[in-house]
Amino acid sequence: MKYVDEFRDGARARALGQAIAEAAATDREYRLMEFCGGHTHAVFRYGVPDLLPANVELIHGPGCPVCVLPIGRLDMAVRLVTDNPEVILCSYGDMLRVPGSKGLSLLKAKANGADVRMVYSVSDALELARAHPEREVVFFGIGFETTTPPTALGILQAEAEGLRNFSVFCNHVLTPAAMNAILAVGEDEVPVEVDGFIGPAHVSVVIGSDAYRFCASHHQKPVVIAGFEPLDVLQSILMLIEQLNEGRAGIENQYTRAVTPVGNQRAQAIMQQVFERRPSFEWRGLGEIPESALGISDAFARFDAERRFNMRYQYARGTKSCDCPAILRGVKKPTDCKLFATSCTPDNPLGSCMVSDEGACAAYYTYGRFRQQAEDAQRQQREQRGAVRQG
């Protein structure tokens, strides 16, 4: 197939759904985690669950970079821009609305006078640094391996141009480490029942399919890397079920039109040139994970905002009753959260999973599978408040 509409063909999707129903053994459950937030939204946008038998369950994992960033790291950015009026903080749009401790987001900091600007790429931040040599421009670098190479290139470009007023607040995290943390559950943690992974697409373009070998060799869990179209996801589900039925745990690549075993080695080399692994990094929902994130190496320390501004991390708690940590681990669904679609909505997000385009709560809400339930709950709340006022 060559064209996008072929990957959204309804007849082919129904045929794959029928093949999945025939392949799925009726005497067992299949719990498959789509790690990538892009897959979560594709699943609900195209109604994939409606084509699956009841014993095939999709679990939503920590594949949203905005969602997994701990509140303490967001608070660092808020303190940076509020305590240093000379700083222009550049961020992707999703990060602006994530509530930090005490509900203070970057957007609210901007409303209070801080210079926070939305950008579409690190190139926009570099352009601001060129246009404002009298100001300090800090790029809020965030994302998995997909967005890490562009940040590295931005630092290399700043060095080549001698931009002394540009730096990066680095929050890039690593996918394999998080997958390993999900499977290697500690004694005091709720175990996540995962039979296999729908592997991320864009991340795998960079790191390659071989990066997931540990899932099969150490944890005996199969991984099938999938594209983002509905037929990609359905075919990957079928491939996982076939592996599980045969008692196999292998790494398979459905997204062969973009992913290779070794990935983009040039991008990997640029990442290794600029970054180094942090000894440990906190993830929202997963806690501290060893060697799961990148920091700027000593060779490029002058572009490290954490060193330049002496930024220090402090642990912070999120909104009370928010179940984002459990949702990101895959042990709860958005609808299990008391705040979902009542106090917490896309217009008033109380947790990161409702903010981002890749968040599980936003996917549940946006694509209408639970909209009537949400509207009924909101109406009930309004009626209760009205009764209290009248009383």
The rounded distance, in Å, linking the Cα atoms of 231 and 7 is 5
Q: For residue 33, is pLDDT > 90?
A: yes
Domains contained in the chain, number: 2
Q: What is the pLDDT of residue 141?
A: 97
Q: What is the pLDDT of residue 335?
A: 87
- CB-CB contact of 346 with 362 (8 Å): yes
State the residue range of the domain holding 165. Answer: 1-318
- CB-CB contact of 185 with 329 (8 Å): no
**Residue 2 — very low, low, confident or very high, per pLDDT cuts 50/70/90?**
low
Q: For residue 188, is pLDDT > 80?
A: no
Average per-residue pLDDT for the chain: 91
Q: What is the pLDDT of residue 318?
A: 81
- Out of 297, 318, 339, a domain closes at 318
Same domain, 70 and 6: yes
Same domain, 217 and 110: yes
Residues in Cβ contact with 9 at an 8 Å cutoff, skipping those fewer than 6 apart: 231
Q: For residue 254, is pLDDT > 60?
A: yes
- CB-CB contact of 143 with 133 (8 Å): no
Q: Look at residues 121, 77, 71, 66 and name the one whose alpha carbon lies nearest to residue 309.
A: 77
Give 173's DSSP letter.
Answer: B
Same domain, 45 and 95: yes
Same domain, 314 and 336: no
pLDDT in tens, 141-172: 999 999 999 999 999 999 999 999 999 999 99
Q: Look at residues 171, 173, 151, 203 and name the one whose alpha carbon lies nearest to residue 39.
A: 203
Same domain, 312 and 381: no
- Out of 255, 288, 318, a domain closes at 318
- CB-CB contact of 77 with 142 (8 Å): no
Residue 315 token pair: 């642990």
Residues counted in the chain = 391
Q: Which DSSP string do the residues of 101-131 spell out, in sequence order?
A: GGG--HHHHHHTT--EEE-SSHHHHHHHHHH
Q: What is the pTM of this model?
A: 0.90
- Out of 282, 300, 318, a domain closes at 318
Q: What is the pLDDT of residue 379?
A: 66
Same domain, 113 and 257: yes
pLDDT in tens, 331-346: 898 989 999 988 898 8
Average pLDDT over residues 57-70: 92
Same domain, 125 and 37: yes
**What is the domain-level CATH number for residue 160?**
3.40.50.11740
Residue 163 token pair: 């931009």
19-23, 167-171, 186-190, 364-368: segment of lowest average pLDDT: 186-190
The rounded distance, in Å, linking the Cα atoms of 335 and 257 is 35
Q: What is the pLDDT of residue 164?
A: 95
Which helix (H) or strand (E) element contains residue 289?
strand 287-290
pLDDT in tens, 192-243: 789 999 999 999 999 999 999 999 999 999 999 999 999 999 999 999 999 9
Same domain, 285 and 354: no
- CB-CB contact of 355 with 365 (8 Å): no
Same domain, 150 and 101: yes
Helical H segments across the chain, by residue range: 10-23, 37-45, 65-68, 71-83, 93-97, 106-111, 122-131, 148-161, 175-183, 202-207, 213-219, 230-246, 265-274, 305-308, 324-329, 360-366, 371-390
Same domain, 70 and 197: yes
Same domain, 246 and 347: no
pLDDT in tens, 280-324: 999 998 999 999 999 999 999 999 999 999 999 999 888 888 999
Three-state DSSP state, 249: coil
